[in-house]
Structure 1
Amino acid sequence: MQFLHETYNYSINGLCNVFEVARSSFYEYQNRKPSSRDLENDNLKEVIMASYLESDKRYGAPKIHKDLQAQGYSVSEKRVQKLMRELGIQSIIRKKYRPTSSTKSVTQERPNLLKRDFTAKKLNQKWVTDITYIYTLSDSWCYLSSILDLKSRKIISWKLSRNMDTQLVLDTLEGALSTRTISDNLILHSDQGSQYTSNAYNKYLEEHQITHSYSEKGCPYDNSCIESFHATLKKECIYAENSMGYKDFDSCYQSLFQYIEGFYNSRRRHSSLNYLSPNEYEKLEA
């Protein structure tokens, strides 16, 4: 009514009659001071928005709730959800992989040692690896090879290349071995792509006493953790920033570096790690 009064010069008395509101109630509402709860919500909204923007709009209520708790705020997750709705913000949503039993009869050509057990008792006990495609306008398709530690969910090595060949996966493995002290009986799990079944790759694994495990052919659920990471990366980084594709190889590399090293490993909270980032989790395990 205040808007109608100020904009169209309608009388307060006439507007109260039209909307069947007592004049005393209108003036009481107009003059009321915000409650302590209202003031607290306004403050929380600022902190929630800061956490949301700091995550590049990737965080939903559970992770923002953990952020607030880490900053000393005592607030429920439901309240965070409510305030996010009032702010009109939500996380970037992606469809998660949900393992299902295969209906096809697939011949087991190579051993699947993980058998969809994606847990690990210690670091450097189980690694998973895969390659994904990324399009660039100037350089066409580029290929990202990644290795993830199943204990910490950290991307311990990644390489971007213009060629999807055995050298790409060898370089990725060399990168992992250059920064990690591997344990006995380390298992590396991959699909049965030609890069991973090549003699050069398996010879390199044998030289470093790493046991190779394989997904069944045509069954991405056997390697769902690394598949899930690549899906998350595309949703939160690649598609969110470049709906038409990256300009070139270099701009793609810079974007992936900022996401993987600057956010995913160092700051992205994982529910499976009690909402710690992979780097934070590994510090506790050290």
Structure 2
Amino acid sequence: MANKHYPAEFKADAVALYRSRPGATIAQIADDLGVNRETLRSWVRADDQRRGAAAGPAASPAAGSVEDENAALRRRVRELEEERDILRKAARYFGRGDALVNRFQFVADHQQRFGVKRLCKVIGVSRSSFYYWRSAAEARAAREAADAALVGRIRAVHAAHDGTYGAPRITAELRDAGLAINRKRVARVMRRFGVQGLRLRRRSRTTVPDPAAAKAPDLIGRDFTAPEPNQRYVGDITYLPVGDRGFLYLATVLDLHSRRLAGWAIADHMRTDLVIDALHAAKRTRGSLDGAIMHTDHGAQYTSRAFAAACTAAGVRQSMSAVGSSADNAAAESFNATFKRETLQGRRAFTDEREARLTAFRWLHRYNTVRRHSRLGQQPPITYEKSPRPAPTTLAPAA
């Protein structure tokens, strides 16, 4: 059939009629006029071009028709609804820790329904990063399995030491058991699975200076080291809270070479007998203290005549820190803080005196024989003493 020829005036009127009826479609106007729909569409487009596609109340949509515009709007609505569905599903993934990894996992779980391109665009990740993450799935699964096996060993060590060990000491235990591992990996796995060591708490003061008492010179000068065992000791008193109001008191004598607890005594009082008993216990451990230095604070027990006489009888030279300066007896105070942290484990007090004594007895013996010490290369004090080595040159408080 030959193409029908329409005069220019008819074309102009047809376009004007279409523009005068914003709710009408190309198809409706074309049918009313008895012209081909595509023919009318071409007239509208040509008129748009002549007018520079000027905007106006009767302007045609860019698609050339309201019908096309409606179709585009419907597509956009579907896209927005799909985005809403994607984000609703994704919300369950975003609260699980590593947000980026969880987004990748979300894309992997929903790619069959929505497609990788669409998902990555909606949740804001690059496709290349997702594909790289997916390609590493096998290696990632192997690491997950290795971490799951490792945390079992970490928990066993953690439990064996009453939940007190952190990453450094657990790493040392695992290495001694033949496992090649570094502290950073142990720390990462502990964080991931919620395994925690104990942290230091503020120390409370127990010894009270006696201003009128005799003072000894400071023979240590904050140098908390010794080239050999049985040369320098530090002493202090700490309290053990029992029940609602009661206390026991622990006096200690600590060797500065190996941090070995050479002597200790527990009592329900802080009289001078307590620190003398601890000194006598250290003498029994070492056989002799002749020529050793005993460094303490200015507590009334340590400045007493009775303690001075006990030191003289044992051949011990007294040394005292500055009044009110905890740094001058830091090694002893650090030991006490560690003891309380690892025995109380966050509790305010022991249940009763029996529990306090037995807990202290167990911990104090394990401190020498089992508990690893950071300053000693993660060795227990007695093990360190049996393995002679050059004396350390850096100051490090007991931990």
Shorter-chain TM range is 0.7 to 0.9
Aligned residues: 259
- Deviation digits for residues 168-214 of structure 1 (CA, Å, limit 9, x no counterpart): 11111111111213365210011111111111111121122110001
Q: Distance in 1 between matches of 2:146 and 2:192?
A: 14
Deviation at 1:284, TM superposition (A): 2.0
Bigger CA radius of gyration: 2
- Return the alpha-carbon distance in structure 2 between the equivalents of residues 216 and 239 of structure 1: 31
Cα drift, residue 18 of structure 1: 9.1
Tell me which amino acid in the other structure corresponds to 1:189. Answer: H
Give the residue type in structure 2 aligned to 1:254. Answer: L
3-state DSSP of counterpart to 1:194: coil
Q: 1:158 to 1:59 in 2, by over 3 A?
A: same
CA displacement, residues 16-40 of structure 1 (integer Å, 9 cap, x when unaligned): 3399669xx9xx99x9798443332
Q: CA deviation at 1:275?
A: 0.6
Residue correspondence of structure 1 range 98-177 to structure 2 within 5 A: 109-137=215-243, 140-177=246-283
Distance in 2 separating the partners of 1:239 and 1:66: 22
Of 360, 370, 378, 1:275 maps to 378
Structure 1: tracts of 5 or more residues without a match: 5-11, 98-107
2:195 to 81, 86, 89: 89
Q: Deviations over 1:43-63 (max 9, x none)?
A: 212111211222222111111
Structure 2: runs of 5 or more not aligned: 1-88, 93-108, 121-130, 204-213, 390-399
Q: Which residue of 2 aligns with 1:16?
A: 113
Structure 2 CA distance for partners of 1:87 and 1:239, relative to 1, 3 Å: closer
Q: TM-score, normalised by structure 2?
A: 0.59
Counterpart Cα distance in 2 of 1:95 and 1:135? 15
Question: Which structure has more RCO (C-alpha within 8 Å, separation ≥ 6)?
Answer: 1
Describe the SS at the equivalent of 2:151.
helix
**Structure 1 stretches of at least 4 aligned residues deviating more than 4 Å after TM superposition:** 12-15, 18-22, 31-35
Q: What is the letter of the counterpart of residue 279 of structure 1?
A: I
C-alpha separation in 1, matches of 2:315 and 2:370: 32
Aligned to 2:44: none
Question: Deviations for 1:141-168, whole angstroms, at most 9, x for unmatched residues?
Answer: 2211111111111111111111111111
Please state whether the residue corresponding to 2:294 is helix, strand or coil.
Answer: strand
Partner of residue 167 from structure 2, selected from 37, 56, 61: 61
Q: What is the CA distance between 1:109 and its match in structure 2?
A: 4.4
Change (3 A) 1:119 1:96: farther
Alpha carbons of structure 1 residues 209 and 81: separation in structure 2 relative to 1, 3 Å: same
1:89 Cα deviation (Å)? Answer: 1.6
More deviation, 77-86/219-228:
77-86
State the partner residue of 2:328.
222
